[in-house]
Copies of this chain bind each other. A is one copy, B any other.
Amino acid sequence: MTVQQDEATLTKGRRGYHHGNLREALLHAAEALIAESGPDGFTLADACRKAGVSTAAPYRHFEDRNALLEAVCMRAFDALADATGSAKSQFPAGSIESILAGGRAYLAFAQADPARFRLMFGRQPDIKSRPLVEATGVACFQNLLDSVSAFLAERGQAEANPMPLALRLWSLVHGVASLAIDGPMEIMAPDKDPAEIIDEAGRAILAAA
């Protein structure tokens, strides 16, 4: 969405001194660079070069390097909520398939841009508890809570607390995604499709609920 802001405004837009849309340009540059080099390899100076401005310019729009990463992080949580939400909505609310589809979307999101996923969950100690980041993360998890509530209602446990079951599922899916993108999974079992693990173990957890 909002992709067709013409390239000009993202690189050097308004003629000469003033950029015109630097905040957005820096966010785009940061996202691209993080995807290439990971959140640690990411360099503010690189983002500046990519946006065609001096290395002091970002400080008119972001308090510091971490604030930029924080903004990228919040966007990413929104994107994840979108991805899982639309995946699960292709199946009947409360169905097992709907929950599993959300989990597979979570995995696919991580695999599509591992570095961004690491940025979201690897505790960079300075991004961690900024309230806005927390809030978007919570909104994202709410998605799963809703699915689980619907599932339990479907099973006649409408007033059961969905949290314990949701935490089991989230842990499973997050673990699969983490192991898949950080390497160990393909080292130990290169032929196994991580999505299968979500299906198999997810069904087991749901069946036991």
Contact = CB atoms under 8 A, between A and B. Distances in A.
Interface of A: 37-38, 40-41, 114, 118, 121-125, 128-129, 134, 137-138, 141, 163-164, 167-168, 170-176, 178-179, 181-185, 187-189, 192, 197, 200-201, 203-205, 207-208
A208 B197 contact: no
A157 to B, nearest CB: 16
Contact of A167 (B122, B168, B188): B188
A118 B125 contact: no
A137 B171 contact: no
B207 A123 contact: no
B122 A182 contact: yes
A123 B187 CA distance: 13
Contacts of A163: 188-189, 192
A34 to B, nearest CB: 12
A118 B124 CA distance: 11
**A114, A134, A203, A205 pick with most chain B CB within 10 angstroms:** A205
Contacts of A204: 168, 204-205, 207-208
18 contacts: A118-B123, A122-B182, A128-B183, A134-B187, A137-B184, A137-B187, A138-B187, A163-B192, A164-B197, A167-B197, A172-B172, A172-B201, A175-B176, A201-B205, A203-B208, A204-B204, A204-B208, A207-B208
B38 A141 contact: no
Contact of A184 (B37, B121, B172, B178): B121
A155 to B, nearest CB: 15
Given A121-B182, A121-B184, 17 more contacts: A37-B125, A40-B124, A121-B179, A123-B181, A138-B188, A141-B188, A163-B192, A167-B185, A168-B172, A168-B204, A170-B179, A172-B172, A172-B201, A175-B175, A175-B178, A200-B208, A208-B208
